[in-house]
């Protein structure tokens, strides 16, 4: 089957500051919650940290050349908030601003469109000590930071994402404690979720006041919940989990309301809704959807074990490209969004460079084709999808899993920092050149 994407469809790849930059304590950068969390023994596999990561802070010119070789049209990366404001607020670190200035200019000179994420999980530690995301003041702290970046880069960067996957930050960071800042408090998680939405909306309005032509969105770790049987309990759980994992983060932004199921389930844990807050939250130009797998449900419970009917990735996630299509179309059905972009989608494998110097990641090539087929089908069925940014441009620090899982289309040798484009990277470049496959 010949699959062709729309003429103006955008192709690119993504990373995040803490996962690739390194230079964790250089040039005036402040400490982030991930700098602190990763240095606590037992928090991360093999006690690995992002202190060096892929050293992209120093090696971005080399990486941009690889992006050109792969014909990337866009590169999504994040700004390190503590590299700009070491204490989260107050004094600005000019060396941090200068770094991103140079990087944006280098990308544009290479013909690559920079897509910037303002917050990809690395909150300044100083702000965590002032209450972090459960503190309502963070909406203003974040807005001040967003304004600084819009003033500095808004003349050259059109696409902005306020934050990355607040679902992960709120639930894994504040409810389950398995990611920074490592807190286990369900109410704090729901309060943080509310403030993520509020911070997004306030930053959107403030950035638009500076540069009205900016395209500003937010990315979300979309969760599709698949009932494997017809039990009423399975269907009910799938619907509730949609509201808990998707609705609470996107209904305020897309519809200006809060999921009633959440208000009913947690009446004493969600902050009191204020009409002015909901009006601020209800602002976006596009939504970035990030998809990796379905959550499987059987007999009214989430399936924890691996099932023989599914193939799994190095992360232990089932491969469910049909779920990707269903997930996209569910957003279209529920919210009728004006524009969507796939801002992350990819597969973790235990890749190694072969004796011939190649990384022949056959399974990842099949993964991309299957998931891009789902994207194409969704476009054909009316989804307003305008871009696909693969995760990830390169192997990098995978948070609490350390350096074990490799998501990249470029292999990173962490001992030498040598980069090798994988066969999936060459396939992706061919897809870009043909605008399809």
Catalytic residues: 165, 344
- Give the chain's end-to-end CA distance (angstroms, integer): 8
Nearest alpha carbon to residue 53 among 15, 101, 84: 15
What are the beta bridge partners of residue 32? 124
**Under a CB-based contact definition with an 8 Å cutoff, are residues 93 and 84 in contact?**
yes
Tell me how long the chain is: 437
Q: How far apart are CA 131 and CA 332, in angstroms?
A: 36
Q: How far apart are CA 385 and CA 375, in angstroms?
A: 8
Q: How far apart are CA 249 and CA 241, in angstroms?
A: 12
Structure tokens at 288: 């970035």
Q: How far apart are CA 340 and CA 316, in angstroms?
A: 27
3-class SS at 396?
Answer: coil
Give how far Cα 395 sits from Cα of 255, 421, 432, Å.
36, 10, 20
Structure tokens at 57: 């802070």
**Under a CB-based contact definition with an 8 Å cutoff, are residues 339 and 306 in contact?**
no
Helices (H) and strands (E) in the chain, counts: 16, 13
> What is the residue whose two structure tokens read 């499987």?
296
Taken in order 374, 376, 382, 388, is the CA torsion positive or negative? positive
């Amino acid at each position: 089957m010949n699959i062709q994407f729309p003429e103006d469809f955008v192709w690119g790849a993504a990373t995040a500051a803490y996962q690739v930059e390194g230079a964790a304590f250089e040039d005036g950068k402040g400490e982030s919650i991930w700098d602190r969390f990763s240095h606590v023994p037992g928090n991360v596999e093999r006690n690995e940290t992002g202190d060096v990561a892929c050293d992209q802070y120093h090696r971005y010119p080399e990486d941009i050349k690889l992006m050109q070789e792969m014909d990337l049209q866009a590169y999504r990366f994040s700004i390190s908030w503590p590299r700009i404001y070491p204490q989260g607020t107050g004094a600005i670190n000019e060396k941090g601003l200068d770094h991103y200035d140079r990087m944006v200019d280098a990308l544009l000179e290479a013909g690559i469109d920079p897509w910037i994420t303002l917050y990809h999980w690395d909150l300044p530690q100083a702000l965590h000590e002032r209450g972090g995301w459960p503190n309502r003041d963070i909406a203003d702290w974040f807005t001040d930071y967003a304004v600084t970046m819009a003033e500095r880069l808004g003349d050259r960067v059109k696409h902005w994402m306020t934050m990355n996957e607040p679902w992960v930050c709120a639930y894994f960071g504040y409810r389950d404690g398995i990611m920074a800042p490592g807190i286990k408090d369900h109410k704090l998680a729901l309060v943080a979720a509310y403030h993520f939405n509020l911070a997004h909306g306030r930053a959107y309005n403030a950035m638009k006041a500076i540069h009205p032509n900016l395209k500003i969105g937010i990315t979300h770790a979309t969760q599709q919940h698949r009932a494997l049987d017809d039990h009423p309990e399975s269907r009910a759980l799938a619907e509730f989990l949609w509201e808990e994992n998707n609705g609470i983060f996107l209904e305020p932004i897309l519809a200006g309301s809060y999921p009633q199921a959440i208000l009913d389930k947690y009446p004493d844990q969600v902050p009191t809704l204020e009409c002015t807050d909901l009006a601020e939250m209800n602002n976006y130009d596009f939504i970035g959807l990030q998809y990796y797998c379905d959550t499987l449900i059987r007999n009214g419970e989430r399936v924890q074990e691996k099932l023989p009917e599914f193939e799994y990735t190095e992360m232990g996630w089932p491969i469910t490209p049909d779920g990707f299509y269903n997930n996209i179309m569910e957003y279209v059905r529920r919210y009728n969004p004006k524009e969507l972009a796939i801002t992350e989608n990819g597969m973790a494998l235990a890749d190694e460079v072969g004796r011939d110097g190649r990384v022949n990641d056959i399974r990842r090539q099949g993964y991309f084709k299957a998931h891009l087929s789902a994207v194409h089908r969704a476009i054909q069925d009316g989804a307003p999808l305008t871009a696909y940014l693969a995760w990830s441009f390169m192997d990098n620090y995978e948070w609490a899993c350390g350096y074990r899982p490799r998501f990249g289309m470029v292999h990173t040798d962490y001992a030498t920092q040598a980069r090798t484009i994988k066969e999936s990277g060459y396939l992706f470049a061919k897809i870009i050149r043909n605008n399809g496959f």
